[in-house]
Amino acid sequence: MAGAKSVLFVTGLCPEGCYYCPISPQRKGRDVTFVNEVPVSDVRDIVDEIAASMSEGVGVTGGEPMLVLDRVVTAIRVLKEVFGKDFHIHLYTSGTGVSRSSLERLVSAGLDELRVHVLSKLSLDAVKTALEFPVDVVAENPVIPGSSKWLVELITELDRLGVRYVNLNELEVSELNADSLAMRGFKTSPNGRSVAGSRETALTVLMWVEDEGLEISVHYCPAIYKDRHQYPKRLNRRATATKRVFEEVEGGLVRWVELGHSGLARSLYLADMAIKLGEVFAIHPRIGRELRSGKVVEALPLSPRKVLNEYEVSEE
């Protein structure tokens, strides 16, 4: 909720073919690794990016992370060594490659939690095997509209097995799955981010869980929540950690003011109030507003910065 966890997207490879898979075409089916929005090539890059994001934990996802088990085990071991035992690590899988031997390696590297996307008997077998290990076992599924009967049966079985909690995610619409969802007759919600009916199905299931008084906890995560809260908060942490002296941070973005070559810019530079940034001078937005001069640049706090907007100070 605090955006305090990074996302380690460890590979885009996956043996499943879920029609609702939301992974972008740039990642889907490709053996690429990202931390949040940043491509990384080795474990040192992973540590650097997680440090820059001031994260207190990581979710390892994909694709199917178990297809690159060696990479995952190395990452978990190194992250625990660098950030300490309280750095929380959870791993998503649909069950492929989950066995006693792979779980032994993951748990001894420091894995805290296994989150299983339940697709088949293989997934449920993975849940059962993982319950034998000292690791939290959780199920996490997108909610297909109209699937409440299946979800009720699944949650009943997970409760019987002793699973700690279930996350139900509102089904997201993305560039990749929009056509596939439309072909199956699903409609997009007015917010443009999720499938109509997913929320209502999830709420039906939550009410059933409450009425039954089950031990297991069931959580519902709306798609818009990630955009409006989790993502900006995660960006805000990275912006705060990597803020340059001439930048201010607001709403997950960084902002500075640029001045071209002029007498004013040179005077500010000589007075240590401006910094040379390539061909221009950069000043703090506070100074730009005071002087009512310069161009405001707004960017995502990535390395290098990804510019989103430019406008004159006078337009603020």
Q: Tell me which stretch binds ligand SF4 (CB under 6 A): 15-23, 194-202, 234-242, 300-308.
A: 15-23
Pairing of strands 306-312, 295-300: antiparallel
Q: Which is nearer to ligand SF4, 85 or 121 (CB)?
A: 121
Give the helix/strand (H/E) hosting 179: helix 178-183
User: Could you tell me the smallest distance in angstroms from the CB atom of residue 142 to ligand SF4?
Assistant: 8
User: Could you tell me the smallest distance in angstroms from the CB atom of residue 17 to ligand SF4?
Assistant: 6
Site for ligand SF4 contains 10 (CB under 6 A): no
Q: Which is nearer to ligand SF4, 28 or 77 (CB)?
A: 28
- The residue within the footprint of ligand SF4, chosen from 11, 36, 53, 94 (CB under 6 A), is 94
- The residue within the footprint of ligand SF4, chosen from 8, 14, 114, 158 (CB under 6 A), is 14
What DSSP assignment string belongs to the chain?
--S-EEEEEEES--S---TT----TTTTTS---EETTEE--SHHHHHHHHHHTT-SEEEEEES-GGGGHHHHHHHHHHHHHHH-TTSEEEEEE-STT--HHHHHHHHHHT--EEEE---SHHHHHHHHHHTTSSSEEEEEEEE-TT-HHHHHHHHHHHHHHT--EEEEEEPBP-TTTHHHHHHTT--B-TTSSBBTTHHHHHHHHHHHHHHHT-SSEEEEE-HHHIIIIIHHHHHHHHHHHH--TT-EEETTEEEEEEE-SSHHHHHHHHTTS-EEETTEEEE-HHHHHHHT-SEEEEEES-SS-EEEEEEEGGG-
Q: Which is nearer to ligand SF4, 18 or 302 (CB)?
A: 18
Site for ligand SF4 contains 140 (CB under 6 A): no
Grouping H, G, I as helix, E, B as strand and the rest as coil, residue 219 is strand
User: Could you tell me the smallest distance in angstroms from the CB atom of residue 62 to ligand SF4?
Assistant: 6
Segment 102 to 131, residues that bind ligand SF4, using CB under 6 A: 117
In 3D space, the residue among 177, 266, 260 whose CA is nearest the CA of residue 223 turns out to be: 177
User: Could you tell me the smallest distance in angstroms from the CB atom of residue 118 to ligand SF4?
Assistant: 10
User: Could you tell me the smallest distance in angstroms from the CB atom of residue 23 to ligand SF4?
Assistant: 6
Segment 48 to 77, residues that bind ligand SF4, using CB under 6 A: 62-64
Q: Which is nearer to ligand SF4, 130 or 299 (CB)?
A: 130
User: Could you tell me the smallest distance in angstroms from the CB atom of residue 93 to ligand SF4?
Assistant: 8
Site for ligand SF4 contains 21 (CB under 6 A): yes
Q: Which is nearer to ligand SF4, 17 or 263 (CB)?
A: 17
User: Could you tell me the smallest distance in angstroms from the CB atom of residue 98 to ligand SF4?
Assistant: 13
User: Could you tell me the smallest distance in angstroms from the CB atom of residue 26 to ligand SF4?
Assistant: 14
User: Could you tell me the smallest distance in angstroms from the CB atom of residue 127 to ligand SF4?
Assistant: 15
Residues binding ligand SF4: number (CB under 6 A): 11
- The residue within the footprint of ligand SF4, chosen from 7, 23, 144, 151 (CB under 6 A), is 23
Site for ligand SF4 contains 305 (CB under 6 A): no
Region of residue 142 (phi > 0: left; psi between -120 and 50: alpha; otherwise: beta): beta
The binding site for ligand SF4 (CB under 6 A) comprises 14, 16-18, 21, 23, 62-64, 94, 117
